Structure 1
Amino acid sequence: MIELFIDGASAGNPGLSGAGVFVKNGKDSLQYSIELNEMTNHEAEYEALLMGLEKCLPFKDHIISCKTDSQAVFAAVEKRYIKNQKYAHYLPKIILLLDQFDLFFIKWIPSKENAVADKLARQAIYSQKKKS
């Protein structure tokens, strides 16, 4: 089973943003700190999901267990529906990627259990601030 931890962060709302993606495959792991454009925290969370799904495509024949501390992202995947129309444009992209996996599960976890992905998302923001 592949464990996927995702998190998005913004320095402001909107503001500089980042996505953190942490993929665990047994003892092996991959970590991605992805710089995003200026956006809201919710947008960064959806971007983190998209990036995480893309990073897991090589493992699409495995069981993917995704963990997020975003209730909005969790609900969007579970219901395949995004209530807030401001973010609805993410849904077709999400579904297109989800449908490529044999088995995909998502679980909401408290922020304290998502520390690695959170750190990666914040690193992406810090990296952008250093460039400015």
Structure 2
Amino acid sequence: MLEVYIDGATLGENGKSAASFVAKNKQVCLEGYTFIGEKTNHEAEFHALYFALVTLKHDYSDEILSIRSDSKIVVDTIEKAYTKNPAFLSYYNKIAELITHFPHVFIKWISDKDNKRADTLARTGLQTESTVIQSCS
């Protein structure tokens, strides 16, 4: 099972945004961030989950994923498999399709203090306006 921590970061209410993830277990540690342009913070949080799933799909589709997010709206949307918000619907549809490539995906809400590495990576994506996927320790 891979533990996957995700986070989004946005400057201001609707500004420059980035998304990040950290995926790890005893054998794997992979992390990444990506600049995503101007989005709301909620959109950045959804994009973080999308970014993680797209990245992990190719090499880790046989893994069970335990997603951890400090965004209650992302966790609630994925758990309920539903959103009324049209801005989130396109993200949800893409995420729902990607989830089918893994044997099982859990999602759990965590506090900000338990998501510090993903937060740092998302902020790095904001500062550098770039995309990086790398091994971590």
So what's the TM-score if we normalise by structure 2?
0.88
Residue identity opposite 1:40 in structure 2: T
Aligned to 2:44: 44
Mapping of residues 103-114 of structure 1, within 5 Å: 103-114=104-115
1:82 offset after TM fit, Å? 1.5
Alignment partners' CA distance in 2, 1:115 and 1:27: 21
Aligned to 1:22: 22
Alignment partners' CA distance in 2, 1:68 and 1:96: 19
Residue identity opposite 1:108 in structure 2: W
Alignment partners' CA distance in 1, 2:56 and 2:4: 8
Aligned to 1:98: 99
Residue identity opposite 1:36 in structure 2: I
Aligned to 1:85: 86
Residue identity opposite 1:61 in structure 2: D
SS in 1 for 2:82: coil
Aligned to 2:72: 71
1:83 offset after TM fit, Å? 2.9
SS in 2 for 1:105: strand
Alignment partners' CA distance in 1, 2:56 and 2:106: 13
Structure 1 gaps, min length 5: none
Moved over 3 A (4+): none
Alignment partners' CA distance in 2, 1:25 and 1:54: 18
What does the per-residue CA deviation read over 1:56-75, in whole Å, with 9 as the maximum and x for residues that have no partner? 21212121111000001101
SS in 2 for 1:12: coil
SS in 2 for 1:88: helix
SS in 2 for 1:82: coil
What percentage of aligned pairs have identical amino acids?
40
Structure 2 gaps, min length 5: 130-137
